[in-house]
């Protein structure tokens, strides 16, 4: 997609950006809009492959990071500043799902999803805000939530609870960060299909979910990434603490 310099000269970090999902699409769109991008993921091989691919579009630097590890999160932010001199935009995309009835869900399954999806977003938000404060204020955080934070779906209690938590974290941290001149918003996709999702979700469930969408199809990762780029840009200069639904799903 042809860019319009919406993020010209901005330093953007995207977590969970290896592969073909929303994270890599967000990194690609940021590059197309003139940003210098740090991509991060816990899968180092896929991260290196993604960095090589995206490097054809602009300046890309890869830093492995597991968002459940505080030291690695801090190293991601510090490494970004060392490489590019500062941080301007933090896109918190890391999340972990799964399908399991509450009756069958183990403590470990519950805790793992919450630790990656909610607490991981908290860790990255905290680290980014501390960096913004050191830089004298200003900056943007964009979180990836989900419509299941609002809507009921069987087998998704852990994921839905985590994503509802991301929404609440977005609203409250935006108030904490306002005095720093930092904006914090989130997107809430309903269904964005990519190869990894197809591997962990049955075709029958995907077809059922697609039927619920007004357009009869899922979003592409790029369509979600476009909204992330908007929220990261100066066009969203008066938006903070908002959760934007990227969905055509019927209530």
Catalytic residue, from 159, 192, 221, 224: name it.
159
Q: How far is CA 82 from CA 59, 78, 119, 134, in A?
A: 15, 6, 25, 14
Asked whether 132 and 138 are in contact (CB, 8 A), the reply is yes
- How far lies 142's CA from each of 34, 145, 187, 225, 231, in Å? 18, 10, 7, 11, 7
d(CA 112, CA 218): 27
Q: Is 235 a catalytic residue?
A: no
DSSP codes joined into one string, 189-242: ES-B--HHHHHHS-HHHHHHHHHTBTTSSPBPHHHHHHHHHHHHSGGGTT--S-
Strands (E) in the chain, as ranges, are 11-14, 36-39, 60-62, 89-92, 139-144, 182-189, 243-246
β-pairing, 11-14 vs 182-189, is unpaired
Q: How far apart are CA 29 and CA 211, in angstroms?
A: 28
Q: Which two tokens stand for residue 48?
A: 């290196």
Asked whether the CA dihedral 182, 94, 123, 189 is positive or negative, the reply is positive
In the numeric block, which tokens belong to residue 32?
């197309």
Annotated catalytic residues are 159
């Amino acid at each position: 997609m042809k860019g319009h310099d919406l993020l010209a000269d901005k330093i953007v970090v995207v977590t969970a950006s290896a592969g073909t999902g929303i994270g890599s699409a967000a990194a690609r769109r940021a590059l197309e809009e003139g940003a210098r991008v740090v991509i991060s993921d816990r899968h180092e091989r896929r991260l290196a492959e993604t960095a090589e691919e995206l490097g054809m579009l602009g300046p890309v630097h890869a830093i492995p990071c597991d968002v459940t590890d505080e030291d690695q999160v801090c190293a991601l932010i510090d490494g970004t500043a060392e490489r590019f001199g500062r941080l301007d935009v933090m896109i918190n995309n890391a999340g972990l799902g799964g399908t399991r009835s509450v009756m069958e869900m183990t403590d470990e399954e519950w805790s793992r999803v919450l630790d990656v999806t909610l607490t991981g977003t908290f860790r990255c938000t905290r680290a980014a805000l501390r960096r913004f404060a050191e830089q004298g204020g200003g900056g943007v955080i964009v979180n990836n939530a989900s419509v299941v934070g609002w809507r009921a779906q069987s087998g998704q209690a852990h994921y839905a609870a985590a994503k509802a938590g991301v929404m609440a974290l977005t609203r409250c941290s935006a108030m904490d960060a306002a005095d720093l001149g930092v904006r914090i918003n989130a997107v809430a996709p309903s269904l964005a299909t990519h190869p990894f999702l197809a591997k962990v979700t049955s075709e029958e469930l995907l077809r059922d979910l697609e039927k619920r969408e007004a357009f009869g199809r899922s979003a592409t990762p790029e369509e979600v990434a476009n909204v992330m780029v908007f929220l990261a840009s100066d066009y969203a200069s008066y938006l903070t603490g908002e959760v934007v639904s990227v969905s055509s799903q019927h209530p």
